[in-house]
Structure 1
């Protein structure tokens, strides 16, 4: 566990946190997240802060002690996502590569004989800024990253040819082929 778990978690004015039946509900202008708190942890929610503590007689020697920092990090991440949604950008680079949103489906032409269709989860917002630029927004960092990884898996970076889906403007060092 990090020493951060000893510090209170402070949140902004527009956020409402409630804790009942070992479930923490965090509500804000961008949505709501519910986090299940394990039985061996206690959460003390006050006006604009909360404190997490271990409810185990073994104390620091408990096997559950490392979870204190993990759950705290999940709560802080949820509060950040409620304040400002997480954003990831995907760039399609390749001849004829393009994308479009049709309802809740992201349709991409990636050089295959057929278009690739990916269903967008209801908790995420996907915007095609340009045909070759996709932005993914969501309040849960894990869901945003999982969706981006799923889309990138359709065309992984190839160092010799190009034609790939690049997350957040990351480039691939091009290698020289045979001469």
Structure 2
């Protein structure tokens, strides 16, 4: 089979030959059999080349269509996987956040219990004797001293929840700062080229 530039050259040549034959003959002249046979032979050859080219073109187009369909299917699959991965990442991040909050809340509760024990020891060891000594100087009745002591202990007990809340908030802020520092250092490591 001839290449595409030869095919068009041959087509032009056959067309020019046909035009020459028409110009040579007048309306009353007849075309010679030999010229007509040569014209038919060229046309038949061109027609065969055109069929081959069309077949090849059709096959290539079909392959291209199948490849495009496959690419479209794969693209859709990748989009689905990306969507699923994003959902899983969000779920995992929420779970990690909840676990971190729970861990920090436990730590805050532990610190609060330790603070409560220290406050109890402080109230029993320092505050109670101070209240009793002040009550004896001012000659208050014993039941007033007990009520004052219970009042201070109740105040300490009421302060435990706000103390726990403040400790929890502080620990959460520290955890967020640490996470941001870690993410920033990871970004820097990703953008900094490594030399080997």
Give 1 or 2: higher helix fraction. Answer: 2
The alignment's TM-score, normalised by the length of structure 2, stands at 0.18
Of structures 1 and 2, the larger Rg is shown by: 2
Higher relative contact order (CA 8 A, sep 6+): 2
The alignment's TM-score, normalised by the length of structure 1, stands at 0.20
